[in-house]
Amino acid sequence: MTPPAYTLDRQVLIHDLDEAPDRYPQARRMDVKGKAFATTWSIALYADTVPEGLDVRCQAVLNRIDKEMSPYRIDSDLTRFNLAPAGGFVSLPDSLRTAVGHAVEIAALSAGAFDPALLSAVELWGFGARVVAEGLPEASDVSALRGQKHGWRDLVVQDGGMVKPAEVRLDLCAIAKGFAVDELMRLLQAEPGVRAALVEIGGELKGWGVQPDGLPWWVEIEAPDTAKEPRTVAALCGWAVATSGERVRSFMHEGQVHSHTIDSVTQSPTRSDIVSATVFDPQCWRADALATALMVMGEERAIEFARQHEIPSLLWVRAETLHNGLRAVRSPRLEGWL
């Protein structure tokens, strides 16, 4: 008798745990949501009692981060830094300085594949707040950006603020959402009676604790629209996940996709063979920034980087020989989660 044919409809990723999290079967579920950073946010949590005014407190945290870190707001602290004269000291809020410090850390780790000082290039290619003409920017303008002498290496976070390097203009969009996820989770973990939570902002997620039945928070991992492999679901318990990809923001010109992810070497949209990069990390800000770095690196360098630093990551790579033009590549650390 021939066994019936079946198709695997999903792959399951489960990370290692040092010990089983505590269970709170009496906890009640609560869901809150809102809008921030031109996207949506949501929280699912379990608590002994429903916290009063939690939605208001969460929204206040996100509004503060937006006021500090948005490159689209003329009144943000980040814009105030970007407009400051070269060589001047700019006072900055603690959380903004912390985010810049994180950004410089990943820039150094990735040898500039992640670069927080690319606002001028982001705007030149039409992905910023400034309105630009249709088509591609002038080659001379791109070349001028490549010739700049100063960049993220000149950023020094000091007590109370930073000195503004010449030519440097910061864009923290590739780390701010992840940073905000961590901030919301920190608020929830300090809330009396809250036992477990799942935080999501624009597709970046972080899970803490387990549900009353002992199951982790299950989330589906983003994949390109043309991906044909089984969908991937992952358990989040003390981990975060972030994805960077072409489909988020890009434009087409003469048959070529131009991604919002900028390569600091060329000061132009990345031409790597990676269409989408997903990274898992206990800190969402780190997963957010590393996903961008892997996008810029390209498959060969990205997989070696992920192996060297034990980064669980999933890449979708262009493969013209396959019918859908894509193939999934998992880092060695992520392979161990299957």
For the chain, the domain total comes to 1
Q: What is the C-alpha R_g of the chain?
A: 21
Query: Would you say residue 229 lies in a domain?
Result: yes
Residues 6 and 79: their CA atoms lie apart, in Å, by 55
Distance of alpha carbon 100 from alpha carbon 57, whole angstroms: 24
In this structure, is residue 246 part of a structural domain?
yes
How many residues does the structure list for the chain? 338
Distance CA 207, CA 240 (A): 6
Residue 67 CA, chain-centre distance (Å), reads: 19
Residue 39 forms part of a structural domain: yes
pLDDT one-digit tens code per residue, 93-104? 999 999 999 999
- From first to last of its 338 residues, the chain has per-residue pLDDT tens of 333 443 446 789 998 877 778 888 899 999 999 999 999 999 999 999 988 999 999 999 999 999 999 999 999 999 999 999 999 999 999 999 999 999 999 999 999 999 999 999 999 988 876 656 666 778 998 899 999 999 999 999 999 999 999 999 999 999 999 999 999 999 999 999 999 999 999 999 999 999 999 999 999 998 876 666 678 899 999 999 999 987 666 555 445 666 788 999 998 888 899 999 999 999 999 999 999 999 999 999 999 999 999 999 999 998 865 546 888 999 999 999 98
Domain membership of residue 295 (yes or no) is: yes
Q: Which residues participate in the annotated binding site for Mg(2+)?
A: 174, 288, 292
Whether 2 maps to a domain, the answer reads no
pLDDT digits (tens, 9 = 90+) for 305-324: 999 999 999 999 988 655 46
Q: What is the DSSP letter of 22?
A: P
Indicate the annotated binding residues.
174, 288, 292
In a domain, 133, yes or no: yes
Q: Which one, of 80, 91, 110, lies nearest residue 293 by Cα?
A: 110
* Token pair of 331 as six digits: 């880092």
CATH for 137: 3.10.520.10
CA distance linking residue 172 with residue 115, whole number of Å: 9
Give the Cα separation of 147 and 163 in Å (integer).
21
Residue showing tokens 């079946």: 6
Torsion of Cα atoms, 232 then 237 then 238 then 243, to 10°: 20
| CA neighbor of 198 nearest in space, from 234, 236, 243 | 236
β-pairing, 10-13 vs 231-236, is parallel
Indicate the burial class of 251 (C-beta count within 10 angstroms; 0-12, 13-18, 19 or more).
middle
Residue 5 falls inside a structural domain: no
Domain span holding position 73? 10-16+23-335
In a domain, 178, yes or no: yes
